[in-house]
Structure 1
Amino acid sequence: MSLPPLSAYPALRLRRLRQADWVRRLVRETVLTPADLIWSMVVHEGEGEVPVGSMPGVARLSVKQCAEAAKQAKALGIPAIAVFPHIDGAKKDAAGSLAADPNGLVCNAVKAMKDAAPEVGIMCDVALDPFTDHGHDGLIEGGRILNDATIEALVAQALVQAQAGCDILAPSDMMDGRVGALRTALEAEGLQDVMIMSYAAKYASAFYGPYREAIGSGKLGTGSVDNPGDKKTYQMDPANTEEALREVALDIAEGADMVMVKPGMPYLDIVQRVSETFKLPTFAFQVSGEYAMLMAAAQNGWIDEERAILESLGAFKRAGAAGIVTYFAPRAARLLGA
């Protein structure tokens, strides 16, 4: 049987499925909802809020305000909050000792948020950089970041967070073997239900600058041999893809329940590869620099702020992310509910 010539077929007009809002919604392949968002939040020890200059619209919140924000997250349909601390510089030391304080800022914030809105999940950053005077994620000796000694400190930090009521531990330090050590410690303490979302592919990126201001991080590269100028010996080379897959595979083998790629938009190819390769819930972090760039462009009138927020978040879902950690969470949830 011979087929009729192509000219015999009706014209292929893909625009037919774009001609009205209702049909665009009907055939939409990727849908973003408030349930896809994790609210990235910075807490401080004082009263009231302290605006972060490089992140318009973001402020450090007091513990009391964090509790109110947890109630707000529940009302907006945001399932979880990721909490990051701003620690008084005078209280920091080279070992990040305050990280393991069961009565410290993070634990107090976790308790307050869980009391205020127990239905909202709380995720805690497991890393020493907010607590060290040198700003690194690990302990330093002779200018070298110590892997195994750092893991011991991270385990102590994670256990007090879990005991305070944290639902998800999120190690962001990029030390080798830390996920396995955390999982072993949690099991030993009867905390087997606490989840681990590892920063499995965290890159040594230029996009973290505003976050360092937000948490008051120590200054890297002060000239001392004990303060390396960057984090390239433990965070990943931005040029690498296959290495990310090896990192993710190791963290899954060690007991990670979920994995994360950080930063977000410059690494959507990594998000897609990780999601497709491992079929495990894969998250992306829309980091401070991404937030700051979008807000700066919007405030200068160069882009439509609301459309850009939702388009950027939708890109993560399209790439395969199960969800996004973002400072835009409450704003985006309101826009999505509008």
Structure 2
Amino acid sequence: MSTDDHIIEIVPCSQNSISHIIGPGGETIQRLQAETNTRIEIIAGPKVSITGTKQEEVSAAKEKIEAIIEHQANPDYEGEEGRTLRHQATEFASARTLKMKEADAAFAANDKQKGHDLLQEAKRLGEEMRQSNADAGRAIIAFNNHENGDSVLDLHGLRAEEAVDAVKLRLNHLAAVNSSKSSSSSVASVDVICGAGLHTKAGHAVALMPAVEKYLRENNFVFVKRGVATLVVNLIEDIANRSGSGDVEPATSGSTIEASPAVVEAPVAQSVASSPAVNVANEAKPATAVAPPSASPTPAGQKTKDSTNSCCAVM
């Protein structure tokens, strides 16, 4: 379609894909407009209207928009490396369960030595499983955040404990940056994207948001919930309170950051405004549900309890 000197393309989209097209604070849609020299608007339908003066620029914008819509419809929150490591962890878990059953049979037959050996093998497989899951968590964090700066942390694809560890690490890093008198790159807030559970498999609870909220409350961080998917942590108010109490030492990696006890959770924030061309509220990507950790092997000489380990975060 063209009007005068302008070319217009209309791309149908789902309601759920709108927040991905807009991005945090309108960041994605503004970047797309700058990269393609076009004007991009969300219109009734919902649809995406792309306006430009050159066909190649409008086509480039359309291709990028369609890629976002496709990714949202069929999201990949793990990446090839993370997916492979999760699969390895699942295989280790299955092998461990088998060894524990064999150990049960050995103890029942009064073959204590064999039972002990099988439990040792189950223990080794459990350690391999945990290591694969830890490696998978790191790979998934890198995959989902390779284009994000310090102010955005996407937790999709993680287990609850992995998500909390990732939040700790990011906040520890930024606490050190913001408390450094020589730093000129302070970060005012962090968007922690937990997701809305739109791609969660039936029967699994969405565990990321409650786990992260619990950690932030227990450590007195100032934060607000934006929409159903994102927690915005206020770092400037946190460092001000820490400075006022004399607690300004940079936190070490992996430790708990504690703010002043006077800090309380702020009221729920309204949706962040997007670019001037867009009047749709900004939300974050859908969440993953997280499988519970499995039990450790039973000590030698005792009846083992068969357990099924679900190693993968659920999409």
Higher relative contact order at CA 8 Å, sep ≥6: structure 1 or structure 2? 2
Asked if these proteins are the same fold (TM beyond 0.5), I'd say no
Structure of higher CA gyration radius: 2
Return the structure number with greater strand share: 1
